[in-house]
Structure 1
Amino acid sequence: MAVSRRELLCATFGAACMALGDAPVQAGELVHIFASEAKEVPYKFRRQEVRYKTSEPAGTIVIDTKKRFLYLVHGGGKATRYGVGVGAEGKNWSGEAVIKRKVRWPSWTPTREHLAVYPSLQKYKNGMPGGKGNPLGARAMYLFQGDQDTLYRIHGTIRPKGIGQKVTSGCIRMLNVDVVDLYDKVDIGTRVVVLAE
């Protein structure tokens, strides 16, 4: 009898899933990253290899906030294109930055603005541990200009339907399966160019 990949993964990670519950995720983290997220976004916002004309060198990340795409430039007129959620009206930014920190299952601390708008977040004023319910999702890449943290991130999400939308506080939001893919392909020091609308 043939065993599907899904059945094999369920059998392999099933016990880990039961043991992990809602605890911060380290081992067996694939349990909490669902490829089915992509079904919640329009096809054009799903990860694709595309032709992309740019003067930026291979390895650069280019974010087109108007079109809601992040491109990882490969050179030779090609790139991997990811759909992203971007800053809501008045919260977009543009310019250049560098990834100076990368974190798996990052913790999240709401800003004063978040706490004022959403008082229910008060319980996380000292931080929320990484895990499947954390708004930063599975990975975060921290953007700096020189030694200054911009406070902007490229990160995962717990709200896949926000991909392709202007919904964030300025960060670049990706599907968890996509942010894991990008995280594994870029290094500390990667240049990020955010195009102006």
Structure 2
Amino acid sequence: MQRTGFLLAAAMLAGAMALSPAKADYRSGAGAPPLLLSPDLTEPWVLQLQPHRRQMRPQVTTRPVMRQPQRMERVRHMGVAPGAAPQRKVQRQVDPRFLPTTVAYDGKHKPGDIVIDTEARYLYLIEKGGFARRYGVGVGRPGFEWAGTHKVTRKAEWPDWRPPAEMRKRQPGLPVHMAGGPKNPLGARALYLGSTLYRIHGSNEPWTIGRAVSSGCIRMRNEDVIDLYNRVPVGAKVHVL
């Protein structure tokens, strides 16, 4: 009975307050003040109660962040001005197919002869026992091809270069004479062929080995022409095919 009476009294008090709110004196402490919440305070709760509104929030990306300051430090450390992309040094190398090797040989030429296959870009020094030393070479470009048999009439170390008048006419600016040395187009060694202007010689452009680039001469890497020079005597036959 007591509990029922208590609940009935509480309900009557709430009804009276709803019917005559002006009569309540909240400042006197006789009743609890009304619970008024600011919309700003309720907003987080509203967001939780309405999942569809959370989709409007910015999504967090997992894309990696570029660390520009660190990249700039690396560039500065390399001696390049900030903001400039570091340049790669171009490495010019000989195709491995044209590096020297020993191969089997069963052709008609004799040991000590030199055979140059201009189409395949190979020079063969025929040896005894059915073998040949093979070197990669550069040959005459289109319009400067030739074939024939000659003898090595002279050999020279770090030869001087005197471009023929015809070559200087085709390429104005070439010197009349250039002393032998690392910058000389004839390279470290030269084997002169008969009474012609053609030679088997080294090159200061080894990356051109295996190509048709010369004015008719047979060019080799410096280390290869030195090896050939030490094996071939004056008078050796050279067959250009």
Structure-1-length-normalised TM-score: 0.74
Query: 38, 53, 67: which one pairs with 2:106?
Result: 53
Matched with 1:167 is 213
Matched with 2:182 is 132
**Counterpart mapping for 1:61-80 below 5 A:** 61-80=114-133
The total of aligned residue pairs comes to: 150
Identity rate of aligned residues, in percent? 51
Matched with 2:166 is 113
| CA RMSD in angstroms, aligned pairs only | 1.1
Report the alpha carbon displacement of residue 113 of structure 1 after superposing the two structures with TM: 2.8
| Residues in 2 aligned to 1:53 and 1:173: alpha-carbon distance in whole angstroms | 25
Matched with 2:4 is none
Report the alpha carbon displacement of residue 90 of structure 1 after superposing the two structures with TM: 1.5
**Counterpart mapping for 1:5-154 below 5 A:** 40-121=93-174, 124-125=175-176, 127-144=177-194, 149-154=195-200
Larger Rg: 2
| Residues in 2 aligned to 1:40 and 1:119: alpha-carbon distance in whole angstroms | 29
Q: 1:86-126, CA deviations, whole angstroms, 9 ceiling, x for partnerless residues?
A: 000111111100001000000001122332233221xx21x
Q: 1:110-150, CA deviations, whole angstroms, 9 ceiling, x for partnerless residues?
A: 122332233221xx21x111001000000000000xxxx11
Matched with 2:89 is none
Task: Indicate the SS of the match to 2:197.
Answer: strand
| Residues in 2 aligned to 1:53 and 1:66: alpha-carbon distance in whole angstroms | 19
Report the alpha carbon displacement of residue 76 of structure 1 after superposing the two structures with TM: 2.2
Q: 1:13-69, CA deviations, whole angstroms, 9 ceiling, x for partnerless residues?
A: xxxxxxxxxxxxxxxxxxxxxxxxxx8111110000111221111000000001000
Report the alpha carbon displacement of residue 162 of structure 1 after superposing the two structures with TM: 1.0
Structure scoring higher RCO (CA < 8 A, sep ≥ 6) equals 1
Matched with 2:238 is 192
Q: Please list every run of at least 4 consecutive aligned residues from structure 1 whose deviation after the TM superposition is greater than 4 angstroms.
A: none
Q: 1:145-172, CA deviations, whole angstroms, 9 ceiling, x for partnerless residues?
A: xxxx111100000111110000000000
Structure-2-length-normalised TM-score: 0.61
In structure 2, runs of 5+ residues without a counterpart are 1-91
Bigger fraction of residues in strand: 1
